[in-house]
Amino acid sequence: MPDMNATEATFAFIIHPIQIKKDVARKFPLLGKVLPEPVINYASRFFPPLYISEITDIQSQHTGQKIRGWFLAVPYTPPTMLALPVETVYRKIVATGRKAEALGARTLGLGAYNSVVGDAGVSIAQRLDIAVTTGDSYTVAIAIEALMEAAEHMKIDPAQATVAVVGATGAIGKACAQLLARRVGRLIVVGRRADATAQVREVCEGHQAQVSDSTRISDIYAADLVLTVTSAVDAVIEPQHLKPGAVVLDVARPRDVSRRVAQERDDVLVIEGGMVEVPGEQADFHFNFGFPPRKAFACMAETMALAMEGIFEDYTVGRELELWRIEQISQIARKHGFRLSGLRSFEHAVTPETISAVRERAIHARKRWSPAY
């Protein structure tokens, strides 16, 4: 056990491999290089929780306080998590949480599939002594902010736009849909089950947007702006689903948008779910998870911001996100110096030149392009 003051603001964040060979190679270069993906999927069932790195020098711009934390990993891959019984996955995540407790963490963030398995963190929180959050509240706040910024760059007026939310029946998707219904012209909520999408449509009605629901991914072709956040293992959005000039914000990990879109559709703008700059000039994750230095996913940032604010109680857990909590964590994060930090697409920065080129190509593509339906 580290020697630390019991009141020190500490946190841990649990990750797991997503781009399986690539992510395994970040920590174990040889294994990631030589082992085939099916072997990694199978072998991951037998690995213990992994210590990845210490996170240092995250510093609040409001108080000047520095916090420290740790990256830990559940070794399961997404296919493994889906294949195993939920209780088995719970036990592995809880064991990783116990490792965080032993390190001295006071709040724990659940990343990627760790946050959606089973009841979205509720059972895990009940079995651990430290506070737990999925980070979904700040993920929603940053997603909406990133989508609005991209719309502005593409000269799309949200109040007049058609917006689709794919995965609208999940916790993040439903919250995003509710917030977007207050500021866009038309909203299409898309999910796999008609009864569930109808329920989301009902809670979104009565605000600014004209709202409809669908179980057909092809219906997003009408959308100027698309926010996608399913829990699918494989891509769900392909090149034919998007009209020229569309903006797609992909919040999901693994990605919902096929790489074919990047290869074949240079007339649409695909961006990731919001990269956050963390405060502290010397902030260091001591691990390359695919972002530039001092940049984090919003779910990571929520965990850090809660530690800075001294909120050491379960925060965002379960499948119903509260809109007031989304606003609260947004204010807390802003106060301490977390902010949206540019736009990225398939791990590359989106430049003004990129956006201008997409706009120009979309103008020409609209004259001759039609979806394959």
**pLDDT-wise least confident of 15-24, 149-158, 177-186, 210-219:** 15-24
- Give percent of the chain above pLDDT 90: 75
Q: How far apart are CA 174 and CA 167, in angstroms?
A: 8
264 and 288 both lie in a single domain: no
- Residue 45 inside a domain? The answer is yes
- Residue 109 inside a domain? The answer is yes
pLDDT tens per residue across span 330-342: 999 999 999 999 8
Question: Would you say 153 and 352 are in contact if contact means Cβ atoms under 8 Å apart?
Answer: yes
Q: Is pLDDT above 60 for 2? A: no
Q: Is pLDDT above 60 for 237? A: yes
- Residue scoring higher pLDDT (369 or 87): 87
pLDDT tens per residue across span 7-23: 689 999 999 887 777 77
What is the structure's pLDDT at 282? Answer: 96
Q: What is the arithmetic mean of pLDDT over 235-241? A: 95
Q: For the stretch 54-89, what's the b/e string if a residue is b when 16 or more beta carbons lie within 10 angstroms of its beta carbon?
A: bbbebbbeeeeebbbbbbbbbbbbbbbbeebeeeeb
81 and 176 both lie in a single domain: no
What is the structure's pLDDT at 242? Answer: 96
Q: How far apart are CA 234 and CA 258, in angstroms?
A: 8
Q: How far apart are CA 271 and CA 99, in angstroms?
A: 34
What is the structure's pLDDT at 5? Answer: 43
pLDDT category, 194, cuts 50, 70, 90? very high
Task: List the 131-133 sheet strands across, edge first.
Answer: 50-59, 66-73, 10-15, 107-110, 131-133
What is the structure's pLDDT at 373? Answer: 56
188 and 177 both lie in a single domain: yes
What is the structure's pLDDT at 369? Answer: 72
- Residue 171 inside a domain? The answer is yes
Compute the C-alpha angle 294/296/301, nearest 5°.
110
50 and 161 both lie in a single domain: no
Q: What is the arithmetic mean of pLDDT over 142-168? A: 96
- Residue 314 inside a domain? The answer is yes
Question: Would you say 228 and 252 are in contact if contact means Cβ atoms under 8 Å apart?
Answer: yes
**pLDDT-wise least confident of 93-102, 141-150, 157-166, 284-293:** 284-293
289 and 186 both lie in a single domain: no
The CATH number linked to 210 is 3.40.50.720
Whole-angstrom CA distances from 133 to 136, 153, 295, 327, 369 are 8, 32, 19, 16, 44
201 and 225 both lie in a single domain: yes
Written as six digits, the tokens of 220 are 């997003």
pLDDT tens per residue across span 270-307: 998 778 999 999 999 999 988 889 999 999 999 999 99
What is the structure's pLDDT at 345? Answer: 86
pLDDT category, 4, cuts 50, 70, 90? very low
- Residue 267 inside a domain? The answer is yes
DSSP string covering 98-109, please? Answer: HHHHHHT-SEEE
242 and 268 both lie in a single domain: yes
pTM given for the model: 0.90
**Domains in the chain, number:** 2
61 and 204 both lie in a single domain: no
Looking at every residue in the chain, the average pLDDT score rounds to 92
- Which residue type occupies 325? R
What is the structure's pLDDT at 37? Answer: 81
Q: What is the arithmetic mean of pLDDT over 359-373? A: 81
104 and 232 both lie in a single domain: no
> What domain range includes position 101?
10-137+276-340
Q: What is the arithmetic mean of pLDDT over 116-138? A: 96
